[in-house]
Chains A and B, each alone.
Chain A
Amino acid sequence: MIISSLLGASLLLLAEEAPAPTARDASAPLEAASTDDGAAPASSDTPGNARVGHGRGPAGVPATFTRSTALRARIGVEPSAFEGASGVSSEGRWLASATAGYPWWGVRLQLGLRHGLSPLVEVQTALARRWRPAAGLAMLWVNLPRLRIGGEALLGWLFQSGELGRRGPNAELRVRIAAPLRRVAPYIMLGSQHTLLADRTTVIRAAGEERSWSLRGEWTGWGTVGVAVPITRRVGLDLGVDLTWVDAPETIAIPGAHGGIIIGGFRQDPGASKKRRSRGKSQSRTQSGDAASARAARVMPPYAHTGASLDPVSGGPSL
């Protein structure tokens, strides 16, 4: 019921979403990029070219920014909540999220690298009885204006206390499908979690002890339907319904729900570092930097085309 309501709400939002999602705020004037560096104005109708200029962020924060400066920073400028929904951070950005609910809680940290890759670490727990710390890699497979599909592979260790105590190496594969809209990003996450469990049997005979090991597996299927909502560009909320089936098919599936917070940022102030690097360089070097910016526009994954703002004080992106 809840899932269908969420899906229905998502479809309504999709239907109402008139402008292309590359423009994160329809109220923002669709000016061409200012050419403070001499770069050619960006076309607004291709995914790789953001509509930028002066406007207001999703949270209504007034800002000014130029696409060319964002390109020089070589970072995506999408709200962190959207990156949380798709599970992949753009290059140079980090993301931390914490979720709480019944029965699942979790903490996750990830860092955006080139080529749409994001290494991540996370700790997942169910009622503090089942713990699974893991490290992994997320990768963006499909990056369309209204559709992001990514995959994650994680390796970790399972610790479960209580009568049904379990421990062993754990691997999980996930697929995330997110639909970033203007204000929210509904997403679906499907996961397949496998744990290898080792049992030890000791036979005490008159002649002595014999010890043997055996292995068995535990499979946990995972499905989450949720929505990520940016509050500011740095901070967002994550609300979702979880359907997990631990140790399927020998058990019953217990549905759950979670709410969480997503916080994002930058590894460093790219604007400032760029300024330092370019200080004292000749005009010709600046022009070659513009050429590098143009190259960056071609390789920049995955959210470079989105609208954003630059902090007028720091020169870095304002989230």
Chain B
Amino acid sequence: MNRQAPQRRLAAGLAAIVSLLAGICLGACVNDDTTLYEVNLSGTIDVAEGEPSGGRVHVEVLHARSGAGTLAYPLRPITDLELDGLGEFAESVLVPMENGEGLVVYAWLDRDGDGALCAPGAAPEPAGIIELEDFPAHELEVELVLTEPCAGPEILYP
């Protein structure tokens, strides 16, 4: 018994030292510590009644605000999506939590299929934006009607 006690203390001490070193190593090892929040977006994107509805839909997911103080700015891009057309959709997005606050979805309809929002001599392409007030939440509903022709997100927000 008496012989085992010092050995146990030694083993416990060694385990504590190893744990401490491992903790320091892990704590001192991390460089970029990124936290991504998964958001499942679902809902519908449409145009006003009577408007032409052909073409692909370009969607941009953005932070509503980013930065702090005098360096704060709106609409920091997170990711781009491309939908086959208007109507219902469901997409998953990973939102980096350190880069900004709030979540905004902007979309426009690419009627002529050139990949660019409007162009000289081309027909107007409708756009729309919506801020998802319920963020952060894993399931978010999007109901967006594209009504503003040739408008970028910076014009439509806030």
- In the complex, which residues 156-206 of chain A have their Cβ closer than 8 Å to any Cβ of chain B? 157, 159, 165-168, 197-206
Q: Does B34 contact A201, Cβ atoms closer than 8 Å?
A: yes
Q: Does B33 contact A199, Cβ atoms closer than 8 Å?
A: yes
CA distance in complex: A198, B29 (Å)? 6
Which residues on B sit within 8 Å (CB–CB) of A165? 31
Which residues on B sit within 8 Å (CB–CB) of A202? 33-36
- In the complex, which residues 16-61 of chain B have their Cβ closer than 8 Å to any Cβ of chain A? 28-38, 40
Instruction: Using CB atoms, name the residue of chain A closest to B139.
Output: A206
Q: Does B36 contact A168, Cβ atoms closer than 8 Å?
A: no
Q: Does A199 contact B34, Cβ atoms closer than 8 Å?
A: yes
Bitwise, A267-293 to B at CB < 8 A (1) or not (0) is 000000000000000000000000000
Q: Does B139 contact A167, Cβ atoms closer than 8 Å?
A: no
Q: Does B38 contact A167, Cβ atoms closer than 8 Å?
A: no
CA distance in complex: A197, B33 (Å)? 11
Interface size class, chain B: 10 to 19
Say yes or no for B116: interface residue by CB 8 A criterion: no
Which residues on A sit within 8 Å (CB–CB) of B94? 203
Which residues on B sit within 8 Å (CB–CB) of A200? 30, 32-34
Which residues on B sit within 8 Å (CB–CB) of A206? 38, 40, 138-139
Which residues on B sit within 8 Å (CB–CB) of A157? 28
Q: Does A198 contact B139, Cβ atoms closer than 8 Å?
A: no
CA distance in complex: A203, B38 (Å)? 7
CA distance in complex: A233, B138 (Å)? 72
CA distance in complex: A200, B29 (Å)? 9
CA distance in complex: A204, B95 (Å)? 10
CA distance in complex: A199, B96 (Å)? 14
Helix, strand, loop or mixed for chain A's interface? strand
Which residues on A sit within 8 Å (CB–CB) of B31? 165-168, 197-199
Instruction: Using CB atoms, name the residue of chain B closest to A159.
Output: B28
Q: Does A205 contact B138, Cβ atoms closer than 8 Å?
A: yes
CA distance in complex: A242, B35 (Å)? 39
CA distance in complex: A167, B33 (Å)? 12
Q: In whole Å, how far is B118's beta carbon from the nearest beta carbon of chain A?
A: 37
Bitwise, B138-153 to A at CB < 8 A (1) or not (0) is 1100000000000000
CA distance in complex: A228, B99 (Å)? 49
- In the complex, which residues 38-89 of chain B have their Cβ closer than 8 Å to any Cβ of chain A? 38, 40
Instruction: Using CB atoms, name the residue of chain B closest to A198.
Output: B29
Bitwise, B86-110 to A at CB < 8 A (1) or not (0) is 0000000010010000000000000
CA distance in complex: A264, B28 (Å)? 34
Which residues on A sit within 8 Å (CB–CB) of B32? 199-200
Most chain A CB within 10 A, of B29, B31, B33, B36, is at: B31
Which residues on A sit within 8 Å (CB–CB) of B38? 203-206
CA distance in complex: A166, B30 (Å)? 8
Bitwise, B114-158 to A at CB < 8 A (1) or not (0) is 000000000000000000000000110000000000000000000
Q: Does B30 contact A167, Cβ atoms closer than 8 Å?
A: yes
Q: In whole Å, how far is B94's beta carbon from the nearest beta carbon of chain A?
A: 7
Q: In whole Å, how far is A203's beta carbon from the nearest beta carbon of chain B?
A: 5
Which residues on B sit within 8 Å (CB–CB) of A166? 31
22 sampled A-B residue pairs with Cβ under 8 A? A159-B28, A165-B31, A167-B28, A167-B29, A167-B31, A198-B31, A199-B32, A200-B30, A200-B33, A201-B34, A201-B35, A201-B36, A202-B34, A202-B35, A202-B36, A203-B36, A203-B94, A204-B36, A205-B38, A205-B138, A206-B40, A206-B138
Additional 16 contacts, C-beta under 8 A, given A167-B30, A204-B35, A204-B37:
A167-B28, A168-B29, A168-B31, A199-B31, A199-B32, A199-B34, A200-B30, A200-B33, A201-B35, A202-B33, A202-B35, A203-B94, A204-B38, A205-B38, A206-B40, A206-B139
* 6 shortest interchain CB distances as A-B pairs: A206-B138, A199-B32, A197-B31, A205-B38, A202-B35, A198-B29
